[in-house]
Structure 1
Amino acid sequence: MIFDELDAELDRVPRTVSAYVGRLDAAPTWTRHPDATHYAASTIKVGVLVALHRAAEAGHLDLDAPVPVRNEFDSALPGAPRFSCNHDNDEAVWARVGGTARLRWLAERMIVRSSNLATNLVIDHVGLPAVADVWPRAGARHSCTGRGIEDFAARDAGITNLVTAADLAALLTRLAHGAIRPGPLATPRSCTAMLDTLAAQEHREDLAAGLPRGTRVAHKNGWVRGVRHAAGVVYPGDAAPYAVVVCTTTDPADGGPSGMKIEDDACRIIVDISARVWAARHDLR
């Protein structure tokens, strides 16, 4: 059985690898440490996206209203100084600093280019409590969003962002279900829009790289030193849609001074799992 082979291989990998694989309308076909918590990295951005659409549906904000683009934010730690982003994956958002941008555009850049600055701007408008509320609404049990990105004062005080493979699968599965019928996250129209944004993801070197070119996959990945995650819903043309999530965490010291070996190995693990799940897509129960 493919998943027995995967478990045996992953048992020999010097890192924690969590996984969840299953059709959207059934119990998972395969899990591996599904409730182990990992630092979330950019996978928190899916929850931020949901919180934004929920706020728009409630009439609290207008997705097409221009908002100031600045790089200064309140810390989640009371009394801590305001903080700024020092790193981003999207020059387009940085080019808007001092000007304005639509919230809808910022949300797109947050996902398709994984912009940290756009993420903090969206969080600034919806609030951390609204983002944290997305997890229990999705049926998640162990994940949390406690702070924005690069809020180091909060991080050093123990305020963090955590995910599990099972919780990311629950969030994405409910988004996929919500596009068909009303659910706990948002209206079908909003869920469809969010899935379209996730399907436009431009960082495709892990989960998407294990799929045939052109396969629709609504996904988000995340990475920092020692961490690489990917979570998505795959839509084959010849089989039922399925969720696949892989979370990896290792000791950065194991990857040498640059950490590149860790990054490359984690990508290869996710690509391999994604490809092997695709090959077994007709057998997922």
Structure 2
Amino acid sequence: MTWEDLDARLDEVPGTVSAYVGRPGAGPTWTRRADATHYAASTMKAAVLAALHRAAEAGALALDAPVPVVNAFDSALPGAPRFACARDYDNDDVVWDRVGGSASLRWLAHRMIVRSSNLATNLVLGHVGLPAVAEVWALAGARHSVTGRGIEDFAARDAGITNLVTAADLAALLGLLATGATHPGPLASPAGCADMLDVLVAQEHREDLAAGLPAGTRIAHKNGWVRGVRHGAGVVFPDDAPPYTVVVCTTTDLAHGGPSGEADDDACRLIADISARVWAARHDL
């Protein structure tokens, strides 16, 4: 396979397919429309995770302190009423079972990533705030990604307030976490970055990037999906080659938007195939 061959194949895919492949801390090996913006879906949760750890390291909150688990959130649209999440639109009943009780921010952040819980995301976001997430994107050097609202904030969505990502920006964010786990960086301490990577490695939705890798391969990743959108962003840690970042963002009719792991989701299969091709080239990135 050559990168030109892969580009030619992706030219035939309906919609927009963006990609970024390279070593963390180095320039890209291959990109494709890497600065094209896509609706973020749940990939924005990686930036929320980083904002939480930054706030904890600054002493603004305690990761292990219990916080109330509620389902009522302030809208990003000034003057709009508070909004709530829908349980049937979420991927994690475990968090919903805590409503009316309490949980630690660390636990909520874990569920936000490994099961992509929307309720946990809004709870964490309510404690760190949107400006803190914007600071994470800025520190990562993101040029186009924006986290403007929480999940299911429909009043803000209808007013044009949205969440956007690019393949290049997601690669920059995850690359900083990977390099920051061994060398001090702008996002968090090495211990904090290592903790975040461990959460991303525990990701349970493994139908896209991870599906293209040999079983047991370590990958720290976050994906996201709604109808018409499927993204996978991760750092792969091969046993026989240096780590590499691989991000694929798709806005396409191939993304069916149903539960993660649907056997007939062509966008999942497309991302898995790209991941497998990058894995095959891992020694030459």
TM, length-normalised to structure 2: 0.95
Aligned CA distance change for structure 1 residues 280 and 184 (closer, same or farther; 3 Å): same
Q: Can you give the 5+ residue segments of structure 2 that lack an aligned partner in the other structure?
A: none
Alignment CA distance shift 1:235-1:37 (3 Å) = same
CA RMSD of superposed structures (Å): 1.9
Q: Could you report, residue by residue, the CA deviation over 1:185-204 in whole angstroms, capped at 9, with x for unpaired residues? A: 00000000000000000000
Change (3 A) 1:282 1:133: same
Q: Residue 121 of structure 1 aligns with which residue?
A: 123
Task: Quote the Cα distance in structure 2 between the aligned partners of 1:256 and 1:79.
Answer: 31
The 3-state SS of whatever aligns with 1:18 is: strand
| Alignment match, 2:278 | 277
Match of 1:15 in 2: 15
The CA distance in 2 between the partners of 1:33 and 1:262, in whole Å, is 27
Q: CA separation of 1:17/1:45 partners in 2, compared to 1, >3 Å: closer, same or farther?
A: same
Distance 2:284 2:183 in 1: 26
* Paired position in structure 1 for 2:55: 55
Residue 264 of structure 1 aligns with which residue?
265
Whether the 8 Å CA contact 1:68–1:98 is kept in 2: the answer is: yes
Q: How far apart in 1 are the matches of 2:186 and 2:22?
A: 20
- How far does the alpha carbon of each residue in 1:122-152 deviate from its partner, in whole angstroms, 9 at most, with x for none? 0000111111111010111110100000000
User: Structure 1 80/12 Cα, relative in aligned 2: closer, same or farther at 3 Å?
Assistant: same
Check if 1:134 corresponds to 2:136.
yes
Q: Which residue pairs with 1:32 in the alignment?
A: 32
Distance 1:256 1:115 in 2: 16
Q: Is the 8 A contact 2:69 2:103 kept in 1?
A: yes
Which secondary structure state, in structure 2, belongs to the residue aligned with residue 35 of structure 1? coil
Letter in 2 for 1:272: D
For 1:159 and 1:93, the matched residues in 2 are separated by 26
Structure 1 pair 176/255, CA: closer, same or farther in 2 (3 Å)? closer
What TM-score do you get using the length of structure 1 for normalisation?
0.95
Task: Please tell me whether the aligned partners of residues 226 and 256 of structure 2 are also in contact (alpha carbons under 8 angstroms).
Answer: no
CA deviation vs aligned residue, 1:27-53 (integer Å, no higher than 9, x gap):
111000000000000000000000000
Q: Which amino acid aligns with 1:275?
A: A
SS in 2 for 1:162: strand
Counterparts of 1:34 and 1:261 in 2: how far apart (Å)?
26
Separation in 2 of the partners of 1:238 and 1:84? Answer: 46
Per-residue deviation, 1:255: 6.3
Distance 1:218 1:251, change over 3 A: same
Number of the residue aligned with 2:113: 111
Aligned length: 282
Taking the aligned partners of 2:148 and 2:18, their CA distance within structure 1 comes to 22
Which residue does 1:78 correspond to in 2? 78
Provide the identity percentage.
Answer: 77
1:226 and 1:263 in contact (8 A); partners too: no
Aligned to 1:219: 221
CA separation in 2, counterparts of 1:170 and 1:228? Answer: 19
Q: Please say if residues 2 and 276 of structure 1, whose CA atoms lie closer than 8 Å, have aligned partners that are also in contact.
A: no
Distance 1:172 1:16, change over 3 A: same
- Unaligned 5+ segments in structure 1 are none
Separation in 2, partners of 1:119, 1:26: 31
**Partner residue, 1:144:** 146
2:268 alignment partner AA: C
- Alignment match, 1:177: 179
Once the two structures are TM-superposed, the CA of residue 221 in structure 1 deviates from its matched residue by 0.2
SS for the counterpart of 1:222 is: strand
Q: CA separation in 2, counterparts of 1:247 and 1:124? A: 27
Structure 1 runs of 4+ with >3 Å offset: 254-258, 260-263
SS of corresponding position for 2:64: coil
Q: 1:31 to 1:151 in 2, by over 3 A?
A: same
SS at match of 1:243: strand
1:255 and 1:185, CA in 2 relative to 1: closer, same or farther beyond 3 A? closer
Is residue 154–residue 160 contact of structure 1 (8 Å, CA) maintained in 2?
yes
Instruction: Report the 3-state secondary structure (helix = DSSP H, G, I; strand = E; otherwise coil) of the residue aligned with 1:45.
Output: helix
- How far apart are residue 251 of structure 1 and its match? 4.8
* Counterpart Cα distance in 2 of 1:184 and 1:27: 18
Tell me, in whole angstroms, the C-alpha distance in 1 between the residues paired with 2:132 and 2:2. Answer: 40
